[in-house]
Amino acid sequence: MTRMFLRETIQTYRQRDPAARSDIEVLLCYPGLHAVMWHRLAHALWTRRLRLLGRMVSHFSRMVTGIEIHPGAVIGRRCVIDHGMGVVIGETAELGDDVYLYHQVTLGGTSSETGKRHPTVGDNVIIGAGAKVLGAIRIGDNARIGANAVVVAEVPANTTVVGIPARPVDRPIERAPAGQRPKVRFDPYGTPCDPCLDPLLHEIDTLRSELTDLEARVARAESRKSDRSAESRESSADDAVRRG
């Protein structure tokens, strides 16, 4: 089981990180892999109610890797933590398979109560550097969370969110050939690099369009008012001439 875990996780690192040149380099030099390995031991102790030992293993892993994963957290297969420094994963967090996390990511809680208080992350999710996902919310499968985003609400599957607070962005839909499933693309740092519409820029563009339309309407109204005033002055002059 451990051999299969190592083999498939190392292979995932090599597929997604062009800097990974060999299996032995990933095994020896990637703190994200080390943190997940230590977490497997800490989680096994935690589930056997050896809570203090589990916390001690987790604490040691944090000192060695700079990545803090609570032993109570549940992490699926082929989880990749890239760079890793400063990552925090809380006690009741749940991660699906093929999740990709960058450095400074926080999967945190917003309540001091016991029970579920950390995020649930679906399969094939990418969370960019510095992103904060807070509360007992769900991040749907294939979601993308941009760097430094702050997520406090649920993210539907196949959705990309950016900003503070995080909002969805419009992205072009890739059509798959007939009879084939669409290929899920890998977005480095969870941030779209293809042409897409930032929600704040969209709102600004909408306001600009409305302002331009309003200015045009005001200009037309003032033009009509000037025309009526000119006609009124001409009519008054004609009346004065006739009376004279």
Inform me whether the pLDDT recorded for 98 exceeds 70. yes
| 179 token code pair | 């009879």
Does the predicted TM-score (pTM) go above 0.75? no
| 128 token code pair | 């960019």
What end-to-end distance do the CA atoms of the chain give, in Å?
A: 112
Inform me whether the pLDDT recorded for 163 exceeds 50. yes
Closest CA to 121 of 149, 147, 90: 90
Using pLDDT thresholds of 50, 70 and 90, give the confidence band for residue 215: confident
Given 3-state DSSP classes, what are the helix, strand and coil percentages for the chain, each rounded to the nearest 5?
40, 15, 45
Query: In terms of domains, do 52 and 63 share one?
Result: yes
Evaluate whether 107 touches 90 at the Cβ level (below 8 Å): yes
> Which CATH number fits the domain that encloses residue 83?
2.160.10.10
Using pLDDT thresholds of 50, 70 and 90, give the confidence band for residue 235: low
Query: In terms of domains, do 106 and 211 share one?
Result: no
Query: In terms of domains, do 121 and 31 share one?
Result: yes
Inform me whether the pLDDT recorded for 130 exceeds 70. yes
State pLDDT tens for residues 26-55.
999 999 999 999 999 999 999 999 999 999
3-state secondary structure of 238: helix
DSSP state letter for 182: P
Query: In terms of domains, do 96 and 209 share one?
Result: no
Query: In terms of domains, do 93 and 10 share one?
Result: yes
Using pLDDT thresholds of 50, 70 and 90, give the confidence band for residue 187: low
Query: In terms of domains, do 156 and 52 share one?
Result: yes
- Final residue of a structural domain among 178, 197, 216: 197
| Euclidean distance between CA atoms 113 and 184, whole angstroms | 37
pLDDT at 195: 55
Average model confidence (pLDDT) across the chain:
84
Query: In terms of domains, do 221 and 111 share one?
Result: no
Domain assignment of residue 102, given as a range = 2-197
Q: Is the peptide bond before 165 cis (omega within 30 degrees of 0)?
A: yes
- Final residue of a structural domain among 161, 178, 197: 197
Inform me whether the pLDDT recorded for 22 exceeds 80. yes
State pLDDT tens for residues 53-64.
999 999 999 999
Inform me whether the pLDDT recorded for 137 exceeds 80. yes
pLDDT at 169: 83
Rg of the chain, C-alpha, whole Å: 29
State pLDDT tens for residues 67-91.
999 999 999 999 999 988 999 999 9
Query: In terms of domains, do 68 and 101 share one?
Result: yes
Closest CA to 118 of 141, 96, 89, 98: 89
Closest CA to 65 of 42, 91, 93: 42
Query: In terms of domains, do 204 and 92 share one?
Result: no
Inform me whether the pLDDT recorded for 151 exceeds 90. yes
Query: In terms of domains, do 152 and 218 share one?
Result: no
Query: In terms of domains, do 166 and 131 share one?
Result: yes
Inform me whether the pLDDT recorded for 176 exceeds 50. no
Inform me whether the pLDDT recorded for 171 exceeds 70. no
pLDDT at 189: 62
pLDDT at 175: 52
Domain tally, the chain: 2
Query: In terms of domains, do 63 and 161 share one?
Result: yes
